[in-house]
Amino acid sequence: MKEISCKLLVIGAGPGGYVCAIRAGQLGIDTVIVEAGKPGGTCLNVGCIPSKAMIHAAEEFEKVAHMAGGKSPLGISVAAPTLDLARTVAWKDGIVSRLNSGVAGLLKKARVKTVQGWATFRDGKTVEVETETGTQVIRAETVVIATGSAPVELPFLPFGGPVISSTEALALAEVPGKLAVVGGGYIGLELGMAFARMGAKVTVVEALPRILAQYDAELTRPVLKCLGELGVKVLTGAKARGLTGKGDALLIETAEGEEARIAADRILVTVGRKPLTDGWGLEQIDLDRSGRFIRIDDQCRTSMRGVFAIGDVTGEPMLAHRAMAQGEMVAEIVAGHKRSWDKRCIPAICFTDPELVTAGLSPDEAKAQGIEIKVGQFPFAANGRAMTKMGEDGFVRVVARADNHLVLGIQAVGQGVSELSAAFGLAIETGARLEDIAGTVHAHPTQGEGFQEAALKALGHALHI
């Protein structure tokens, strides 16, 4: 049995883990990272990156299909397109592979030792790793748990056969003729809309009264409109109950309490994600929990000295960029720097069509805190760049304190608004006021002008509406 010692051991090479290890290596810390799969974790391998690749492919296919049907107002016509999903998946896999190699290269450049295998705790300073060449024991002064999350499986719809998670959905060899999506959150709608564009007949089943319930209704209205245009059937207040005996249909209970069947070749279950806390021997170190998650403080310290936890295993928001920021912070704390988690906001993006971005407080959230606010909203229907991209549905909205105009939150819905998230986060993080945004020269013609116009609107003198 081989043994190695290090100053820092990181368990999990997802976005949080690999960033933590790279930063630690840059700071001269003797670091080992353990990963059972490929570097990059869920996000790179079966989540953020591959899903966006498939969404892009679906959008491109739909554009060509519209041109072939004579529906394009651009005056472009082409022959009827076909889609080879296997080639699309191969292209997506190529992107993932290049990024896998990139992460591995960055770890090597930072002088981080990578151990391939599954880690199990012996105690708070020691883990055993089952590798291809046998058991490796690693002893560390400090341990970072970055084990991530996995799709939630419903007991009456276990994964297998026609029932798939987002992981299997991103590796299908052909487009399903009929797809039922259980769960109307961002994962279900991103993939559901992509498959609808590829030609699948999609039905979304959501138990709550409306889809994308974490966003306010005004933000999601353009998405609902697009779902209708794509022919996606949305059933809200409906509950999945299981499969038919033949496995060719989903059984549901409608909002009216009636039983119904939804014919489906595939049933995509996207009802959330759960922290990966089982199988790592965490019972050996008995960490305090917050519900299902590992409880941490504002430095990502757990209840055991010398053990940190970052990313999805620590709770919401379960976002890759949150994990990355935590990982960088923890590496610097281990190196002796004074750091703590004091982020004002973590932007969140839903890559539906149109896209949704939220940063900070919504109007309702601000009001619930008893804050008197000013709200400015600017429609993309009045934005030249949005019009030239045929992306007029949507808007930018700025929420600020009424007394001193401090920006509390920014939301947007529209084509390509994900790229505005950096500006939104920066404005809130730096304590910008409405006057700061309104007084910043925004390039023309861009959709970013909508941000400036929304601030002007809140101040009472928007220029283009």
Catalytic site residues? 444
Q: Indicate the residue type of 65.
A: A
Within 202-315, residue ranges assigned H as helices are 217-230
Q: Indicate the residue type of 257.
A: G
What is the rounded distance in angstroms from the CA atom of residue 261 to the CA atom of residue 1? 55
Q: Indicate the residue type of 249.
A: A
Q: Is the dihedral of CA 22, 422, 361, 56 positive or negative?
A: negative
Could you tell me the two tokens for 3?
């043994």
CA atoms within 13 A on the CB side of 7: 14
Could you tell me the two tokens for 416?
């390509």
What is the rounded distance in angstroms from the CA atom of residue 332 to the CA atom of residue 339? 7
Could you tell me the two tokens for 269?
């279950």
With tokens 């509950």, the residue in question is 239
Of the candidates 401, 400, 429, the residue with the CA atom closest to the CA atom of residue 342: 429
Beta bridge partners of 120: 128
What is the rounded distance in angstroms from the CA atom of residue 51 to the CA atom of residue 134? 35
